Amino acid sequence: MEVGKMRKQRKWWLVMGAVVVVLFISSSMTYGQQTLIPLLQRLLARQPGRGLLSGIDFTYAGTRISIRHLGYFAFIEFFLRKSAHVAIYFLLGLAGSFGLQKRVTPTWLRAVLTVLACAGVAAFDEFHQLLTGGRSPLFQDVMLDTVAAAVAVGLGLLLTRRRR
């Protein structure tokens, strides 16, 4: 493998490592250390979009998600937290897909291994939360994380094919 391609792959491996470190640190923090509610109360004191968002009402992992049940700031925090899950596992899936590009062939095997590895990291992350006070490990979060990684892997495959 040529030097330039090795450097690119090394960068993706560094991204994967950084993501795993961020996840480990994040999972080590209690909810009280991580809560965004005080910041949201300062930034969104006037509760913009409350009327529009009041129509959203669903259940996630047995918890009713709505402004009426959680309050405005906890409701916004829920979406920010789940968006963070999606973003971090999307990045992990993309990095894994590109990082294994020259090491694992055929392509379908690389895709499967990357998604399974991301699912494993997500499961371990939720287990780690079980060991941290004030945190709730959720199977639904593992599934959300795995879907985000799978979408990233799919996108990575499309981008790779398009380059060829």
Res. 14 pLDDT band, cuts 50 70 90: very high
Lookup: tokens for 33:
């250390």
The CA distances from residue 117 to 47, 81, 120, 156, in Å, are: 39, 22, 5, 16
Count of the separate structural domains present in the chain: 1
Q: Residue 71: left (phi > 0), alpha (psi -120 to 50), or beta?
A: left
In this structure, is residue 57 part of a structural domain? yes
Task: Look at residue 60 and tell me if it is in a domain.
Answer: yes
Does residue 2 lie within any of the structural domains? no
User: Is 125 a domain residue?
Assistant: yes
- Tell me, yes or no, whether 4 lies in a domain: no
Percent of the chain topping pLDDT 90: 76
pTM for the structure as a whole: 0.90
Question: Does the residue 59 lie in any domain?
Answer: yes
Instruction: Specify if 145 maps to a domain.
Output: yes
Give residue-wise pLDDT tens across range 54-108: 999 999 999 999 999 999 999 999 999 999 999 999 999 999 998 888 777 788 9
150 has pLDDT over 90:
yes
Range of the domain at 74: 11-26+37-163
Whether 55 is in a domain gets the answer: yes
* pLDDT surpasses 70 at 4: no
At residue 133, what are phi and psi to the nearest 5 degrees? -60, 140
